[in-house]
Structure 1
């Protein structure tokens, strides 16, 4: 890219971001260096979006129609059944999860408090591992991108997430380069995971590009923590899901997450597995009290469509 083009993009980005300063006090105004960092994040985000051509696929546990399973499902869970036909319009999705480096730049731009910077959560912080957030924080981040670009950014629907993870609906049980799960080949080794954060634990996030991408060019979908989607969760939603661009139930108490948590076994990371959590990051303990989720493993990426 020419210097003049880069200068133009930077200038436009700074104009778009001018409104973000309102949340900062006069003593905390953004410096030129801050503004350049924010503009660089927006450009990097746009460059990292990969186009997913729309199409039709069989969503859910595809074991009964996959060769070699003798007609049996891969999963014992009921909520990823029945297998059903879904047709999606085209969209773009981030090739990577949003990292702490990305999210810190966002909080700098908006004047929000830096996340997970104390207590045990801090041990799972590193610039190039996925940011652990609530659903609301993830949604706000995508909304901020919409306000500062020419595209509409949002969290993916369940269907968009699965379609991309399975490289446009192929029968991939893992979102790896070939659908297999091999540590040290297309899954990080436990030692590589330990070296990714100050926690020095294999029950931690790994770097967002620690393994080869899937055939679409997307990294670590469902293999590096849970990923928030836009949909409300309903166990029986697949029984009544519309075929065209399903959006999930109109309401609910929890949001759908996809993928497996740190330290979970391979079966937790199947591309069609579903789970859910409270959008505000709370859960009710056995004593009835409300607690906060350990956010480190609750991650996200955005999709985009033209405005």
Structure 2
């Protein structure tokens, strides 16, 4: 289990099969950034990564040009997809999802348990993308926040409907670096240059006290923080984002130089970018080189996605 994202582990059952989406796309606008592609150095140049994550070795990668969303997919965008297709996410079909303990909006009977190695995560009945804290919550005022409680399978369903795809891990890191080399974060090497918060991260003592120094306990609206040098918002912090690749900690040692697609198979999918729960005391994964993963059917209150044009 990742300390950042608990894996779904239903007892005695298997997850539902992905649902086919055959509806014509509704008019959802994806604010794209056209990136020229080219070469960059991928991986952790500072030696700060967690060994099990496999952030090294640093290696050259060359990418073709591509167009990527400037922001994560929002609740309003996902709502248009759900309304057009009748799609029900895996959290809705399972009946539960993982909610951070300070964000729960549910009665005691709907809190079903804690993640064993990350007790700040609670399994909440009725938590899903439209009820991010649980059955007593809704999306009022959250239309421009990134959608959460979506699995990798849910993200793929949205992409099929929208005629798009998920970014590869290499594309995400290239885009997050903002056209610059050797940086720790999308904006530079200091976390809060001049005392300015550049990302929605945990501030205070994790997991019990958040000072809200950056203004947010959980998600923030997209475009709340300055974009990076390529015009992308919140590629660090706010929510983890699903990538297309299967995850392997040893992949960088054998990955191709041109347009790497990840391993051919695996058990978990890559997530990138960190979230509002990341803090250097336990999850220093908001760096541009940081990587982790989760099972494709897992959903949490801190994971969403952005898309790439086909």
Q: TM-score, normalised by structure 1?
A: 0.69
Aligned mate of 1:135, from 149, 152, 176: 152
Closer, same or farther in 2 for the Cα pair 1:169/1:140, shift >3 Å?
A: farther
- Paired with 2:176 and 2:76, the residues of 1 have a C-alpha distance of 24
Residues 210-289 of structure 1 mapped to structure 2, 5 A cutoff? 210-266=224-280, 267-281=284-298
Deviations along 1:201-224, whole A, 9 cap, x unmatched? Answer: x1x111111101001000000311
Task: Return the structure number with greater helix share.
Answer: 1
Deviation at 1:109, TM superposition (A): 1.2
Pairing partner for 1:155 from 143, 166, 187: 166
Give the equivalent residue in structure 2 for 1:58.
41
- Distance change in 2, residues 1:263/1:124 (3 Å): farther
Q: Which one has the largest radius of gyration?
A: 1
Shift of 1:187: 3.0
Corresponding position of 2:101: none
Q: 2:57 aligns with which of 47, 57, 82?
A: 82
Kindly indicate whether residue 34 of structure 2 is the aligned counterpart of residue 20 of structure 1.
no
Match for 1:187 among 191, 199, 223?
A: 199
- Residue 103 (str. 1) matches residue 49 (str. 2): no
**3-state SS of paired residue (1:109):** helix
Which residue in 2 is equivalent to 1:173?
184
- Contact 1:193–1:205 (8 Å) recurs in 2: no
**Taking CA–CA contacts closer than 8 Å with sequence separation of 6 or more, which of the two structures ends up with the larger relative contact order?**
2
Tell me whether 271-280 or 137-146 shows the greater mean CA deviation.
137-146
Is the partner of 1:108 in helix, strand or coil? helix
Provide TM-score, normalisation by structure 2: 0.68
Q: How far does residue 263 in structure 1 lie from its aligned partner after superposition? A: 2.1
**Could you give the per-residue CA deviations for residues 220-263 of structure 1, whole angstroms, max 9, x where no partner exists?**
00311211000000010001001010000001000000121322
Is the 1:175–1:220 Cα contact (8 Å) retained in structure 2? no
Q: Residue by residue, what CA displacement relative to the aligned partner does 1:182-212 show, whole Å, maximum 9, x if unpaired?
A: 2644235826644xxxxxxx1x111111101
For structure 2, the residue ranges without an aligned partner over 5 or more in a row are 1-21, 90-127, 204-211
Q: Does 1:145 align with 2:162?
A: yes
Q: Residue 132 of structure 2 contacts residue 138 of structure 2 at CA under 8 Å; is this kept in 1?
A: no
Q: Distance in 1 between matches of 2:275 and 2:134?
A: 15
C-alpha separation between the residues in 2 aligned to 1:85 and 1:192?
Answer: 34
1:76 to partner: Cα distance: 4.1
1:286 corresponds in structure 2 to: none
Shift of 1:264: 1.5
Counterpart-to-counterpart distance in 2, 1:258 and 1:171: 18
The answer (yes or no) to whether the contact 1:154–1:304 under 8 Å persists in 2 is yes
Which residue is 2:87 aligned to?
Answer: 112
